[in-house]
Structure 1
Amino acid sequence: MWKRAAAGVLGAISVINALLMWADGRRWYDSVPGVAFTGPYNPHFVQDIGAAFFAAGLGLVARAWRPRYWPAAVAGAGFLALHAAIHVGMLIGAMLGICTARTWGFDIAAVILPAALSLYVAFPSKGESHA
């Protein structure tokens, strides 16, 4: 049961993030640590990424709502995991001196750990009813 609740919370956070990206992309871009280091603000790109976070969040919320919708959560968590893998690559690059990781603490706390937890909670537990 806790996995479903965690999926709901993580999904809601992703949906809220997407809504903020759509409502005021410029403010989102300027306020999230590290984003401004990726290049100049591009409103279309921020909206596209918002769409990915929205879809990922809906998949996780669907898992919280109905356990049999766990495949949707796996798809959503898949995006979050791929996004986190990019951040892991940047952190490794920084450790090797290839690139600069200015926000490693934020990356771990707000991107990598939630993605790992999302993957874990997306799959049904043993004995949990599912499709």
Structure 2
Amino acid sequence: MSKSVDDLRIVSVTCPDEATALAIARLAVERRLAACANIVPGVRTVYRWMGEISEDSEVLLTLKTREDFVESLYTAIVATHPYQQPAIEVTALADAGRGVAAWIRAETGGEDSTALPKSFKPVE
């Protein structure tokens, strides 16, 4: 059974390359704004920008965080991201496996990480 996830969020942003995604991911995790980041290369994006349809290869970055940190995470992404207007999407986490909700809270400063079992390692 999962723990309540009402305060947990997934923040997604597309990046022009893996180096950008990795820089943002490391910054977010080091500052404890996110518990972890997933970097997914090989995303193909088709979009309309300034009246024209464009198509680009991008990298998808997803970050697991708490609602309390979304604004700070947004600010960090915008300050680091090379796009004029990065596409940042915030989604409520619908469910989490056993221990994952506690782990996200612990790694973002919300709960004491010593409360987690020593052998706990989230499986993505």
Answer yes or no: same fold by TM over 0.5.
Answer: no
Quick one: higher RCO (CA 8 Å, sep 6+), 1 or 2?
2
Of Structure 1 and Structure 2, which has the larger fraction of its residues in strand?
2
The structure that is helix-richer by fraction is 1
The TM-score, its normalising length taken from structure 2, stands at 0.28
TM-score, structure 1 normalization: 0.27
